[in-house]
Amino acid sequence: MKRKSLSVTKKNLNFYLTKLKDPQVQKLYNQFSNNLKSLDISNKKIMVGVSGGADSLSVLFFSQCYSLKHKAKLHPVIIDHKLRKESTIEAKNLKHKLKKNFNINCKILSKKFTKVDKNIQSYARDLRYDLFYKECKQRKIDCILLGHHKDDLIENFFIRFLRGSGLKGLVSFDKNVSNYNGLKIIRPFLSTSKKDLAIINNKTFGFSVDDPTNYNDKFLRSRIRKLINNLNKEGLKFNKFYLTLENLSKSNQVIEFFVEKNVSENSKYFEKEKKTILNQSFFKNPEEIILRSFTRVIHNISKKKNYPRGKKVIGILDSLRFSNKNVKLTLSGCIIEKISNSVIIYQENR
């Protein structure tokens, strides 16, 4: 290694080690480090999604500390959605600042501009995960770290609540590690508040970038955020709210246990024919168990990114259970046939 490179590396290491001497920073880093050590990151490659917010920059700071201490290869990426005129300039400015001030090389991921008239935030979320997935696959990385935090859990709860989601939807954001087409999505700070991450960011990188869409009432999440702030002023105790979410999550885990049991014991997948057969006992369970089990089987067969909508699944289940005749239906790219006391599911175009 050249003398200049060694000097930069030493300076870089000293910056992070100095920041870690702060007790508050050290405490959260220990939590972050222990979370990563418990995961199987075999090739020691870590991707980090960097938006410029205090939360994602905190994840980036701790990821850089971790990579220096454990000789892991860090791959920070910035998503340019190209949904606003300013987004490309903002992404380039963030990349430049991190390189110039902290010697962190970020890659900007984007695709050609697509006009989106509705569900803009949903489109942006899907685009982010698709870009993350493609980049990870290309670089042979099996995990990405994101900066979601405790406050996001509450926002997600209210959004799902307003949409009439069931228990699974209300707590769908409660896992520190989830799966996206085989890619591990790691959220190390779901038990940490946005306020605490902002404090950490001020003590480390010392800057953040505000996304103007966070204050745009055109988007449901922005309106929900304002509602939560108003409820906070009215005396809503969020620590108790977090406990409620934890209890709901535990209830959801119990249901998932029996869903797994039902699928395992009462369905059989045939690899050669690419089909699944459900026996009669599959449908002799509580309603929620049947609904989730059936949805999971359909999703596994269809190989589609999104799960089928609950309303459509309920309609199919009613047709299967209340018809005395053989039935042939379609859902989410699958053929569903009821023959005697069994149900056969296979891809529509196999």
Tokens of 283: 């449908």
Which overall architecture, per CATH, does domain 3-236 show? Answer: 3-Layer(aba) Sandwich (3.40)
| Beta carbons of 224 and 155 less than 8 angstroms apart | yes
CA nearest neighbour of 255 among 287, 223, 232, 228:
287
* Residue 196: predicted pLDDT: 94
* Residue 41: predicted pLDDT: 65
Query: Alpha-carbon distance 182 to 114, whole Å?
Result: 27
Cβ-in-10-Å burial (0-12, 13-18, 19+) of 218 comes to exposed
Q: 220-233 vs 150-162: helix axis angle to the nearest 10? A: 110
**Residues of the chain falling short of pLDDT 50:** 1
Q: What is the pTM of this model?
A: 0.83
Q: 3-19 vs 54-70: helix axis angle to the nearest 10? A: 120
* Residue 126: predicted pLDDT: 87
Could you tell me which residues are beta bridge partners of residue 266?
Answer: none
- DSSP H or E segment with residue 144: strand 143-145
Amino acid (1-letter code) at residue 92 = K
- Phi and psi dihedrals of 77, rounded to 5? -130, 145
- DSSP H or E segment with residue 13: helix 3-19
* Residue 52: predicted pLDDT: 94
Pairing of β 342-347 and β 334-339: antiparallel
Tell me the C-alpha to C-alpha distance, in Å, between residue 332 and each of 102, 295, 344: 47, 10, 15
* 250-347 belongs to CATH 3.30.70: no
| Beta carbons of 279 and 290 less than 8 angstroms apart | no
Parse the chain into domains and list their residue ranges: 3-236, 250-347
Render pLDDT for 188-200 as a digit per residue (tens, 0 to 9).
Answer: 998 899 999 999 9
* Residue 8: predicted pLDDT: 57
- Phi and psi dihedrals of 201, rounded to 5? -65, -40
Amino acid (1-letter code) at residue 127 = L
Tokens of 6: 């060694």
